[in-house]
Amino acid sequence: MDDADGVRDLLCLLLGTEPDFVIVGAASNGAEAIDEVVRTDPDLVLLDLAMPVLDGLGALPRIRHIVPRAVVVIFTGFSEDAVLHQVLTLGADALLEKGLATGALVEQLRQLCAARAAQT
């Protein structure tokens, strides 16, 4: 979920072309993200920190509570060092920066999902 339409659309396009990812929802703010998670029960949630209505830090614990088995990844433009500890404490599985190359992003998401699947 990302507040910038272009970024959100590109992520959906990128992941939608991968055979092992299915896009089940998208949202432009944290409140919509929570609604989408309730509606779709996803295996993976990409969540931006800087969103209107309810930011990612506010949405993260609620999303983690709703889908405890899902992989929740914070995808942000903020420096990793500045927020990593905070988002991990709130329940995120990882923090990835928006500047990450698309191939590396997809591969990291794949690895996170595989690791979660191996735990169950």
CA atoms of 29 and 112, how far apart (whole Å) = 24
- Give the model confidence (pLDDT) of 4-54 as tens digits: 567 788 888 889 999 999 999 999 899 999 999 999 999 999 998 888 899
Instruction: Locate the domains of the chain by residue range.
Output: 5-119
**Virtual torsion, Cα 92, 98, 102, 104, nearest 10 deg:** -50
Query: What is the structure's pLDDT at 80?
Result: 66
Mean pLDDT of 55-82: 89
Q: Does domain 5-119 have CATH number 3.40.1390.10?
A: no
pLDDT digits (tens, 9 = 90+) for 70-104: 999 998 877 667 788 889 999 999 998 888 888 89
Cα–Cα distance between 61 and 110 in angstroms, integer?
23
